[in-house]
Amino acid sequence: MHCWSVFFITTTLVTVWLLPLQAQTPATAVSGPVQRLERFAGTTRLGGNDTRVAIDTWLLPNRYKIEALELPLRGLTVLEVRGGSVVTIIDGQRRKRQAGEFWTVPAGVQIGLETEDDSAAIQTTVIAE
């Protein structure tokens, strides 16, 4: 009986803790099976200048290919694999990337993404030209 009480109390506490987090989740823009979650889109001050910045999380299912990722802005892009693994195709170079890896792509360079047996979450931060 004691085990069930602990289980019930723990489940209730976790549910109450996660409920506000669910309310803060931004709306998802769905484009086919790929989901784009906008985290930030606006202007910030960099080096004394106002600069447009867009931060998005992209959820890619397994065995999926994107020839050219359509970013919301044109500019220097910082990418991070937030979860899973992905193969990137940048300037014709294929490279497998794992969770936690960061890299940059100059403005105007096409970014291709492929998932294999694992789905992936990619975060992009674009600093507009």
Average pLDDT rounded to a whole number, residues 88-114 = 96
The verdict on residue 59 lying in a domain is yes
- The answer to whether the pTM exceeds 0.75 is no
For 84, residues 6+ apart whose C-beta sits below 8 A from its C-beta are 60, 99, 115, 118, 119, 120, 121
The verdict on residue 14 lying in a domain is no
What pLDDT score was predicted for residue 82?
A: 97
The verdict on residue 1 lying in a domain is no
Q: Are 113 and 101 in contact (CB under 8 A)?
A: no
DSSP code per residue over 35-46: EEEEEEEEEEEE
What pLDDT score was predicted for residue 39?
A: 96
Calpha distance 35→45 (Å, rounded): 29
Each residue's pLDDT tens digit, 23-50: 444 433 434 589 999 999 999 998 899 9
What pLDDT score was predicted for residue 17?
A: 46
What pLDDT score was predicted for residue 34?
A: 92
For 35, residues 6+ apart whose C-beta sits below 8 A from its C-beta are 28, 29, 58, 59
What pLDDT score was predicted for residue 122?
A: 97
* pLDDT of residue 98 exceeding 70: yes
Q: What is the DSSP letter of 96?
A: E
- Tell me the CATH number at 42: 2.60.120.10
What pLDDT score was predicted for residue 32?
A: 53
Each residue's pLDDT tens digit, 57-94: 999 999 999 999 999 999 999 999 999 999 999 999 99
Domain that holds residue 110: 28-128
The verdict on residue 63 lying in a domain is yes
The verdict on residue 18 lying in a domain is no
The verdict on residue 96 lying in a domain is yes
The verdict on residue 5 lying in a domain is no
- CA dist 27 to 9, 23, 56, 94, Å? 31, 10, 12, 32
Number of structural domains (the chain) is: 1
